[in-house]
Structure 1
């Protein structure tokens, strides 16, 4: 029954995280598309909100998994999968953001921006690190 609980945690927290990340990216696009553009403070605020999201969601997922009686490694795997879902949304939104930015600045190189396999692999390593951080914090709290 633990695996079903973990899958539900991944689905719920992953979908919520994906929606929140897409909303943050959308808001940043709206703000940066205004006449003044996004100020450095606004960009820092959006970056901080993204980092909080990428740390809080795996921690909550791992805490939920640990409180259901699962072990640390199950919590780590669940937290890593949640971060991977949010990462997938970021990768999927990258071409949209790049095209929007290219249209605003006139740079044609941005319009064809795509992540390379090494960049995607590095992102997966970051997902593992964030999953481990979330599981470790949850293990300390729970």
Structure 2
């Protein structure tokens, strides 16, 4: 393992550890795939395909479990877009998304703040934590 790769692996190992998770070989390998390419939106199936292509021997169940553990630890944000289709977002800040129908592609809305008015009052003893906006897109019809 060359010095740069070793340093990157240690940084990911530390990030997993700092989130309160045990840095198993599979968790660290999945975290490296997730976070090495900047902010992105991936389904469990997409990450599983990347892992297999990268030579990481991991089951789809382990990928799902790891993604949910990363989410619970605050490393990821869940974005439910399409019925049972869930994406995991490496950008955990408050922001909103475009979803391209037919392509199943998700990307961040970059053009400033989006305002939401007339939100209902939350039930007694509850508070609104976040509002997720997904703007659905499709090609214009001629």
- Richer in helix (by share): 1
**TM-score, normalization: structure 1?**
0.27
- Richer in strand (by share): 2
**TM-score, normalization: structure 2?**
0.27
